[in-house]
Structure 1
Amino acid sequence: MPALALGLALAAGLWWLRDGAEALAPGARIERTRLTLAEVRAGRYDDVILLRGQAAPTRSVFLDAVEGGRVERRLVEDGALVQAGQPLVVLANGSLQLEVIRSEAEVANQLNNLRTLEIQLERLRADNRRLMAEIEWQLQRVGARGERDAELARVGFVSPAVLRDGEDERRYLEQRRDITRASQRTDEALQGEQARLLRESAQRLQANLALARANLDALTVRAPVAGRLTGFDLTPGQSLARGQRLGQVDSTDAGRVLAPLDEFHLPRVAPGQSAELELDGRTWPLRLARIDPQVKAGQFQVELVFEGEPPAGLRRGQTVQPRLALGASGEALLLPAGAFLADGDGREVWVVDGDRAERRAVTLGRRNALQVEVLAGLRAGEQVIVSSTASFGERRRVQLTD
């Protein structure tokens, strides 16, 4: 039993010596004045993020060349206010002009062919009507003569052979009439189908001509909407390709805010979340409209739009600091946000007890630009170092000096 007590006393002494040696080792003493301390407090956590973004136009419409060509005349300068439909630049394209002339000639030729066919069809119908009228007239004559011959044959003045000849002639004329009618229907159907095909071809050519004329008209580039023209750097004689970007037209107001956000918050942001901006003594409501989930340099971009009219004095490119609400506010244990979050990776903090500070594992929750929510590992009233602790290295405790 005395041996056990002696062993415990030796172990405690060794621990005290090691602890004291660590505290007295070079670098283990830290001046308290170099540190920033904060007390763990119970309070109201506002689940908001303070953003730093720039005002942007409510709408930006890109201006592209519908057809390629050479810049002939530049009608407005970059930065000018333009109206919807206002001409901005005139391009020249000889190939397109020749294409329009060729299309016009094709349409005219096709319309002439169609008109010629329609005239031929009308003439054929007239000839067919005359032919049918002649056949019907001959049938009437043969019929009348047959009736007379039949009366004369009963009294013996006309032989039976004459009656048979008259009957044969009548049947021939009836067959000729039927064949002529069938032939007329076939001819009219064929010519009608040909006319329909020509008509459809002319319509297609006219549509192509209208498109070519529209492309020719597009050589005069016009403003798609009213606003301020930007990025419009063209010089006479410059060659432009089809679809080449010429500039853009921005609305004159600044109804959007574009702001970068730390990737830590990406899982908690969603379109529709509310935000607000303090400006000119007023609070302006905003709404999160779009999220660009692509992370660059540890950040992603969000787009906020004003609910209603944007501030009249807000200018494009002006830096603003809106507050984005991520969730409901509530009571929690809180610490001020500081550099210690990056040093301990949010999992460890240094807790001060008198003239010493110890490293302690903690669980932190939500955070914003001002506050950090403490979920576990700390109690209200404890003092925590919230300034940078990178110089403490891998030590578990340090000595604080005045």
Structure 2
Amino acid sequence: MDRVIEKKKWSTKKILTIAGVVALAALIFGSYYFTSGKSRLNVDTERISIQEIKKGIFQENIPVNGIVLPMTTIYLDATEGGRVEEKYVEDGAIMKKGQPILRLSNTDLELSLSNQETQVFNVLTQMQISKNNADQNTITRLNQMAEVDNALKEADRVYQVNNKLYQQKAIGSQEFRSSQNLLDYQKRRKDLTVDILKKDSVSNRQQLTQMQQSYERMQNALQLMRKKVGDLVVRAPVDGQLTSLDAEIGQSKNKGERLGQLDVMDGYKVRVDVDEHYLSRVFVGLKGSFEFAGKSYVLVIKKVYIQIANGRFQVDMEFEGEVPKGIRRGQTLQIRLALSDEKQAILLPKGGFFQQTGGNWIFKLNEAGTMAYRVDIQLGMMSPDNYEVLSGLEPGDKVITSSYENYTTMQELVLKKP
């Protein structure tokens, strides 16, 4: 008798297939559950820097380097070229105004001075000769004038006598007319002599004036030439300290060449180099501070040089208030130049993270400190120590500020303590 065999509902193959599908689904679900769909990396806390976000006083400032310089520096250039014959002082000497520093020699200049002096002497001699000739001519003209006056008087006397005699019919008209003509001639002669005397006088004065002016011009030229020769002895223009003296015995110096400089010891200023990026934000009146011998000092910008060289421009800063004791010319100071006023702000300490994120995001820790999540932030101004946080973080938050070189593609970091 045949027996009915019941068909199995769950075969071994079917069970294995279902189990595989369930396992795969569980794996996918577990992966999503544990990662929330985000890339994750385990990080040792000893290899990162964790900082807390705080609220405090913020002032945007940049670190700059400045060199201490005298308030006033006078450059010593060779007014005239020549050979260094003698040095009276050495570099670093304290000078008084007018004190000689060194002496140059220039034979061409000295020969020109001698020729100029000769020319002046010749002009003076010629002027004296011309003056003597003018005086002799004037004397001659005056003698002629005296003769003309005498002849006129005599002609007038004869005319007066003849006029009376002619009225009395004692002489004829011929003799009377002759004395009258002689009187008229002497009058015209006197007028002509007076005119010549005036013209000669004017001409003599003009000639003497011109020669005097020429002599004065040559005298001025001579004085200038003597000054040029005198400039071969280089002297201190003011009281101060001689620095950067570049001259040795026997060395030739060209006209206009730098010989050294004189530092006026009436105070100091600081010459500061600033990146050209800040040119539009740096102006007269901005302040900076620096530490010296454990004490803080304040500087203020007095002059801005807008010329840019090698991506930088310069400013001159002067001390506001007390000047540090013991500060010296050429000393380098590390200054914090303030670009804004102090204000309350949320502060994010500086760190290597900025190189990879550009300040657009940062890893923020959870409350337990076991995870760090990537959050978007917005930063404002910066100081040497902090960034100003505009959005994305609050005081009390903890963030990773060290380099993100290995984390740029991660969304979350699992923090593990060693």
TM-score (norm 1): 0.86
1:179 aligns with 2:192: yes
What is residue 379 of structure 1 aligned with on the other side?
394
Distance 1:289 1:163, change over 3 A: same
Unaligned runs of 5+ in 1: 1-8
1:389 aligns with 2:404: yes
Per-residue deviation at 1:289?
1.9
| Map 1:234-245 → 2, pairs under 5 A | 234-245=247-258
Q: Deviations over 1:189-216 (max 9, x none)?
A: 2332222222221111111111111111
CA RMSD of aligned residues (A): 2.9
What is residue 413 of structure 2 aligned with on the other side?
399
What is residue 121 of structure 1 aligned with on the other side?
134
Per-residue deviation at 1:371?
2.4
One-letter amino acid matched to 1:148: V
Contact 1:39 1:381 in 2 (8 A): yes
One-letter amino acid matched to 1:74: K
Aligned equivalents of 2:174 and 2:30: distance in 1? 156
Q: Deviations over 1:378-399 (max 9, x none)?
A: 3333333322323434x25242
Per-residue deviation at 1:173?
1.4
Per-residue deviation at 1:94?
0.4
Greater displacement, 250-259 / 224-233 = 250-259
Distance 1:133 1:40, change over 3 A: same
What is residue 5 of structure 1 aligned with on the other side?
none
What is residue 3 of structure 1 aligned with on the other side?
none
What is residue 44 of structure 2 aligned with on the other side?
31
What is residue 379 of structure 2 aligned with on the other side?
364
Percent identity between the two aligned chains: 31
1:273 aligns with 2:286: yes
Matched residue of 1:251: which SS?
strand
Per-residue deviation at 1:341?
3.5
Aligned equivalents of 1:347 and 1:84: distance in 2? 62
Determine which structure has more spread, i.e. the larger CA radius of gyration: 2
One-letter amino acid matched to 1:326: L
Q: Deviations over 1:136-177 (max 9, x none)?
A: 221111111111111111221111111211111111112122
Greater displacement, 203-212 / 111-120 = 111-120
Per-residue deviation at 1:29?
4.0
Per-residue deviation at 1:355?
1.2
What is residue 258 of structure 1 aligned with on the other side?
271
What is residue 319 of structure 1 aligned with on the other side?
332
What is residue 109 of structure 1 aligned with on the other side?
122
1:84 aligns with 2:100: no
Contact 2:361 2:374 in 1 (8 A): no
Contact 1:254 1:314 in 2 (8 A): no
Query: Which of 103, 107, 120 pairs up with 1:94?
Result: 107
Q: How many residues align?
A: 387
One-letter amino acid matched to 2:380: G
Per-residue deviation at 1:222?
1.2
Matched residue of 2:270: which SS?
strand
What is residue 131 of structure 1 aligned with on the other side?
144
Distance 1:220 1:230, change over 3 A: same
Contact 1:30 1:398 in 2 (8 A): no
Aligned equivalents of 1:250 and 1:37: distance in 2? 51
Contact 2:276 2:308 in 1 (8 A): yes
Greater displacement, 200-209 / 81-90 = 81-90
Contact 1:347 1:364 in 2 (8 A): yes
One-letter amino acid matched to 1:401: L
What is residue 68 of structure 2 aligned with on the other side?
55
Contact 2:81 2:253 in 1 (8 A): yes
Per-residue deviation at 1:348?
4.1
Matched residue of 1:103: which SS?
helix
TM-score (norm 2): 0.83
Unaligned runs of 5+ in 2: 1-24
1:162 aligns with 2:175: yes
